[in-house]
Amino acid sequence: MANPLDDPTVDPFEIAKQAAEIIATKSGVAKHDIALTLGSGWAKAADLIGETVASIPADEIPGFRKSQVVGHVSTIRSIALPNGKYALVLGARTHFYEGHGVRPVVHGVRTAAATGAEMMILTNGAGGIKTSWAPGTPVLISDHINNTAASPIEGANFVDLTDLYSKRLRDIARTVDSSLDEGVYMQFRGPHYETPAEVQMAKAVGAHLVGMSTALEAIAARASGLEVLGLSLSTNLAAGISATPLSHTEVLAAGKEAEPRISALLAEIIAKL
């Protein structure tokens, strides 16, 4: 099926509205409250937060693409939380490095907003720059540096990004685990990992985490009025910070190893929202 977002004349917010209508119809849930994008290492959280009411293949919803990455699932789930609220789990992240432009990257966030969500939880696997973060350490994102040279915002729409990553939500997360550290996330385009020199550049400009997602999504979330919580799983020390080269297989394995622990953490955080 052709993706409507590939047509540059189409209004992406109109596609997001259509996607939200399909989700409401297929799930029977008229309004979702919280949306989550679960990146590498975080997927199990979906099974822990509540009762799944619907699991919809992403390709049945306008604007979504099948995931191209091994180990990433492509379903959109509607989950009833114990507190009576509904969560929308977006299991179909499109990465900027896939080369389809920025619209598909932020379509999930815009769809979440159109389903009525007020909060967006963005999670990812990332490379850590702080040597104190052993592989498998979860980190709250306090701010980001968008190093993609792209923006999801179209037109002269000057969105304020002060406090993009909600202090209120970070404080709630720390009531669950007071040892949670926080750091600045720098999004690179990828899909190659950084050179050691690029990691040193990231460190010099104030980044603590390097990854290939989240910043563009967070910007779109703020533009849609969503409150943002960002969480990284530092699965590996960034290139050159550790002596050993990076392997995608090892990075995935570290995510899998940490998954039960950090998914439980995220579920506990969501129970407090």
Q: Segment contacting ligand 8IG (CB under 6 A): 113-121, 206-214, 217-225, 260-268?
A: 206-214
* Identity of the residue, 116 or 190, whose beta carbon is nearer to ligand 8IG in the bound complex: 190
- Interface of this chain with ligand 8IG, residues 251 to 270, rule: CB under 6 A: 251
The Cα–Cα gap between 202 and 126 comes to: 13
Q: Within the chain, how many helices (H) and strands (E) appear?
A: 7, 9
Applying CB under 6 A, among 238, 262, 266, 267 the residue interacting with ligand 8IG is: 238
Residue facing ligand 8IG at closest CB distance: 127
Report which of 202, 168, 167 is spatially closest to residue 185, judged by C-alpha positions.
202
CB of 267 to ligand 8IG, least distance (A): 21
Applying CB under 6 A, among 42, 96, 165, 188 the residue interacting with ligand 8IG is: 188
| R_g (Cα) of the chain, nearest Å | 17
Distances (CA, A) of 104 to 43, 144, 240: 20, 20, 32
Residue 122 interacts with ligand 8IG (CB under 6 A): yes or no: no
Give alpha helix (H) positions in 34-178: 45-48, 103-114, 167-176
Q: Segment contacting ligand 8IG (CB under 6 A): 14-22, 112-120, 123-131, 165-173?
A: 123-131
Within 13 Å of residue 54, how many CA atoms lie on the same side as its CB? 20
* Identity of the residue, 106 or 212, whose beta carbon is nearer to ligand 8IG in the bound complex: 212
DSSP string across 140-181: EEEEEEE-SS--S--SS-----TT-B-HHHHHHHHHH-TT-E
CB of 20 to ligand 8IG, least distance (A): 29
Q: Active site includes 194?
A: yes
Residue 217 interacts with ligand 8IG (CB under 6 A): yes or no: no
Applying CB under 6 A, among 119, 212, 220, 273 the residue interacting with ligand 8IG is: 212
* Identity of the residue, 126 or 269, whose beta carbon is nearer to ligand 8IG in the bound complex: 126
Applying CB under 6 A, among 62, 91, 108, 127 the residue interacting with ligand 8IG is: 127
CA 24 vs. chain centroid, Å, equals: 22
CB of 108 to ligand 8IG, least distance (A): 18
Residue 17 backbone phi and psi in degrees, to 5: -65, -45
Q: Which residues of 5-17 are buried (b: 16+ CB within 10 A; e: fewer)?
A: beeeeeebeebbb
CB of 126 to ligand 8IG, least distance (A): 5
The catalytically annotated residue of 194, 198, 217, 259 is 194
The Cα–Cα gap between 12 and 5 comes to: 6
Are the beta carbons of 219 and 151 closer than 8 angstroms? yes
Which residues have a catalytic role annotated? 194
- Interaction site with ligand 8IG (CB under 6 A): 40, 125-127, 188, 190, 193-194, 210-212, 235-236, 238, 246, 251
